[in-house]
Chain A
């Protein structure tokens, strides 16, 4: 079952914050977050393994609420380099990684 991401697209000015949400109808083992630049392959950002876990990567952090089967990605003080499409990937059965539809993020100067 494909996870659902929201919003589908967001436009920011440099320095603004954004939140991308990911929800699943099934219980999750873990949640992955990836960023893909146009014409390139997705690149790993972080993985969350436990309910309530939070992780950070520079000014990008994420949370995972196991009970609600939801994860959120937080982008703080966005930079131009943050532009791209963000995907959450959910591991529902110990290995099988399914991706959401993606959230296109554009950061303008």
Chain B
């Protein structure tokens, strides 16, 4: 199994630019999560999907952030416009249905907004 695949691995952009992060979950997994990690806030849950449907987006910081999951094998997290405080590592993770499923993380996308 290829695992959770994220792209890009690194992104450096200037304030005000649009950023799109991509994720391919493990085939057969029903849940997909987007987390943001910073030194100050730790691992924050931004949003999660179940069977492609957004279930809880209460962690999305503001309207500049949006996430979609058009099908079971692809999700995007978009920031528009980006700000320096958005600099962080963004992780995508997936798991199977049920409460026994471990979470598999992608390698993360490190975003730097100048």
A→B interface (CB under 8 Å): 29-30, 32, 34, 40-44, 47, 49, 87, 89, 91, 94-102
Which residues from chain A contact B102 at a C-beta distance below 8 Å? 32, 44, 47
Which residues from chain A contact B25 at a C-beta distance below 8 Å? none
Which residues from chain A contact B99 at a C-beta distance below 8 Å? 29-30, 49, 91, 94-95
Minimum CB distance partner of B91 in chain A: A41
CB B39 to nearest CB in A, in angstroms, measures 10
Given contacts A44-B102, A87-B43, 18 further A-B contacts (CB under 8 A): A41-B108, A42-B91, A42-B103, A42-B105, A43-B105, A44-B104, A47-B100, A49-B99, A89-B103, A91-B99, A95-B31, A95-B50, A95-B55, A96-B45, A97-B45, A98-B45, A99-B42, A102-B43
Tell me which of B31, B100, B103 contacts A49 (CB under 8 A). B100
Q: How far is the CA of A12 from the CA of B55 in the complex (A)?
A: 41
CB A89 to nearest CB in B, in angstroms, measures 7
Q: How far is the CA of A91 from the CA of B43 in the complex (A)?
A: 14
For B, the interface residue count at a CB cutoff of 8 angstroms equals: 20
Which residues from chain B contact A96 at a C-beta distance below 8 Å? 45, 48, 55-56
B15-38 interface with A by 8 A CB criterion: 31, 33, 35
Minimum CB distance partner of B6 in chain A: A41
Minimum CB distance partner of B40 in chain A: A101
Tell me which of B42, B103, B106 contacts A32 (CB under 8 A). B103
Which residues from chain A contact B55 at a C-beta distance below 8 Å? 95-96
CB B92 to nearest CB in A, in angstroms, measures 10
CB A2 to nearest CB in B, in angstroms, measures 8
Tell me which of B42, B56, B91, B100 contacts A101 (CB under 8 A). B42
